[in-house]
Structure 1
Amino acid sequence: MADREMADAEMADGRLVAGRYRLLRPLAAGGASQVWLATDEMLHRRVTVRKCGLTMPQARALARIGDPNLLGVLDVLPGDDEPWIVLEYVPARSLLQVVREAGPLEPARAATIGLAVLHALTAMGSTGVPHVDVEPATVLIGDAGRVVLSDIGPPLTTADSGAVRGSARYRAPERASGEGPTVPADLWSLGATLLHAVEGRPPAAGGTPDPPRQAGRLTAVLESLLRADPSARPSPSEVEEALRRVATPPPPAEERPAAAAVPPAPQRFRWAVLAAVTVIAAAAAAGAAATRTGDDRVAPRPPAPATPSARPHQALPRGFTWWNDPAGFRVAVPRGWRHRHDPGGVLALTGPPGRPTLRVSGPAGRPPDVFTALTAEESRRTLAAYRRVRIEALPGPSAAVWEYTFQDPSGVPMRGQRRLLVTDGHAYALEWRAPRSAWAANLPTVTVVLDSFEPVAGA
């Protein structure tokens, strides 16, 4: 270890930074970065304190991201030569550790992790600060299931990382020839990381990984990410769509209708976000099967085939049922979810603990442009600690999404996603809200619910 690294590591012996952050012990040191576990003596909480080769403008840009797949920046402090960055502390194991201890991951689980890392890379890309070090050691799996891409800024070296940490095994071939960090290079590193996750071992050295053998439905995604020619790799949006398809499991075979017995399904807007097989099972089974009367009753079982609002059968994952709304749409919800109609006819569907909540409004008049309509809604919305994650158009006819974080009246950090679509000349809005700490665990349910929504003619 260089003299400077030794000196920095010794700072952990109780040194107080900015009169507030007490350094406890080093978490990582090497290259141009040092990281310590520390205590915020003002708020009495654990934090991570880091010095790395970023400028103050870069550090401030990172602080504005607020993405759940990146460690939240709590404070940025000027230093003698580079800033100190105070980050949230997430108890977690690296993906490298998880694979070492539990073996290779199932393709759906790896795809779910890949979606989270891709989301983090996209958020960082908006700041102009590259990550340049995507590999299993920098992907953290939190104790509560949260996936976080760590090590923003110059790469680190850690004691538990082994020989592959920071090696060329996860670095795109063009980086070896001196090219700087690019989006295609980060995608190659993502592919190499996911290859390690499903194969249980590092990719082969030399920039040409061995073909996947245990990747299953993830194979085609990995092969496209690991193409030697950067221009031949898919775009981030294409990678996202492909990973969603792998992460969302097909319905069980016994629930799939025979092809000859089912008429063609109506056109649907594919809004899948991400899912994991095991979490879907837990989320679907969480509801109770009891039925109540009154305005706060459990979502009913599917109507009989003769009900006018029923559409041709579409298989649902086990534990879900259809909600057929008098307003002229239907949506799949977990059994046991409660419903109510707020003033104005807005439908609210809520899980047994009271969260998460899905609100559906419409049909309404067609807006001139769904993207502009969501932007206008954002300007009128007043939420505590509000921060935009994204507003963007979605594939398909007249659909857009607005994703954001905020704080509810009781002080709980929340995340929301509002989707607006137009079909048959009518606009529908679906808004999903859940605590940020439970966002990832609820995404499998979001996948099924949002993907199932459709207007019902003649209802």
Structure 2
Amino acid sequence: MADERRLVAGRYRLNERIGRGGMGTVWRAQDEVLAREVALKQLHTQPHLTDDELATLYERTRREARSAARVVHPNVVVVHDVVDDEGRPCIVMEYVRAPTLADLLKGGRAVPPEEAARIGLGMIAALRAAHAADVLHRDVKPGNVLLGAEGRIVLTDFGIAVTAGASTLTQTGQMVGSIDYMAPERIRGHKPGPASDLWSLGATLYQAVEGRPPYRRETAMETAYAIAVDPLEPMRQAGALEPLIDALLTKDPEQRPSAEQTERALRAASADGTGTAGHALASAAAPASPVTQTGPVPAPPPTQTGPAPDSPTRAHARRKRRTSRRRLALVSAVVALAAAAGAVTYVTARHHGEGLSLTQHTTHTPTPSATPTPAAVPDGYHLVSDTKLGVSFPLPDGWKAGKRTGDTLTYTDPTGLVGITIGTVEPAGPNPVTHFQDIEANTKVNYPSYRRLRMQQTTFRGQPAAVWEFTFRGRARDFRAIDLGYGREGGREYDIYLSAPEAQWDTHRPVFDVVRDGFATSG
């Protein structure tokens, strides 16, 4: 190579090229003044830019190197110096002799959730230090995570970092960062914040446990669009990390967990891998309840499954118009972003699974399938049928019926703390996730302690479906709930809802699976 062994700034001898990206090349170099190895990031020549554009780019690089140098932490690569080489700025950094997480994940490989959580702990420690210094990374991804000796995790390449609140020096439409790990608000052209780095952390953790980025598509434009509007493809190997990753990849940055909550959830997952990360995340997110009285089971958050007071037809028409306007604006932004990203071609992510394995939602209309014949009722359950709703399902022995409200049935266990609710919506909307989002908006107002764990679009028995899982504070204890809704637009939507004390969730969660699997309709 022409540059190999060349001396930069009269001090740094280039020895070996160790990385190359869209903006520059990283070299292993020798600091001949201090006799130590360093990493030197050298910007590429940009012949297509004008002199003014080059001056802007170089000033941004120098500024961002100064920003990165302010972050001093064991999990952050040290920035030693910024020098000029034939007019181009170069960033001189600590050299860490280590593979990257991207190297470890090559070929679709994945790591166990406990190991991913350990790596995530190092990353969140680095991000907390950066954010405390008012610095955003903006390019958190597996390729920028070094797996050092003795378990050290180092977040590197703050070369496109930016001081929070500083004016941007990038040209309009110029993409800064890697598309697979770019938060939805950045896709939409909004100003990034610390939550944007946390989304990228979630995308990195997703790939670590699943073997692929969460939204990768065949082209950069399709990937950007998927990040902005598509539901998250469900995880199969995340284990205790699933609730945290799902929360980090929430499209609304205000709904993502904080760095502190993320660290607590990662610590719980790395400690034993028994699923306590979800509990740690929920407990960290839920504020203390001002109500301390004890008494009967509290009513769960509103689970109204009947039609809203407004006309479903008119409401759907308004939603459709609003959605069309949003999508038109978003498509324009995505097209501009994709043009800046260039013609990048990716390997198509494989889709797996069916039914309630929570497959990725696609735009085709699922082929209807007949309602399966219910399996034999398990021991300890009996079959319940309701002619008004036209449904039947297994129910645990000893459970009793509660008050019927419209097209809703409720049954509770002998303690009165665990409940199953069956309801219908007619006519059904395009997908139950829209219905769930409407209920969630009301729930947030009436239950300040409400925290979403996941809301995922999927299919069930060949029909559009959604799964919604959340926690809330009752009168005397924390509760957790899961709701499945499925049904075709214009037909009937069926909803199956279970709530139980969070402390006993693992004990009662199987009831939902039995009811769901044995659920049958006469229509």
Please classify the TM superposition score into its range, dividing by the shorter chain length. 0.3 to 0.5
If you compute each CA radius of gyration, which structure gives the higher value, 1 or 2?
2
Normalising by structure 1, we get a TM-score of 0.47
Greater share of residues in helix? 2
Normalising by structure 2, we get a TM-score of 0.41
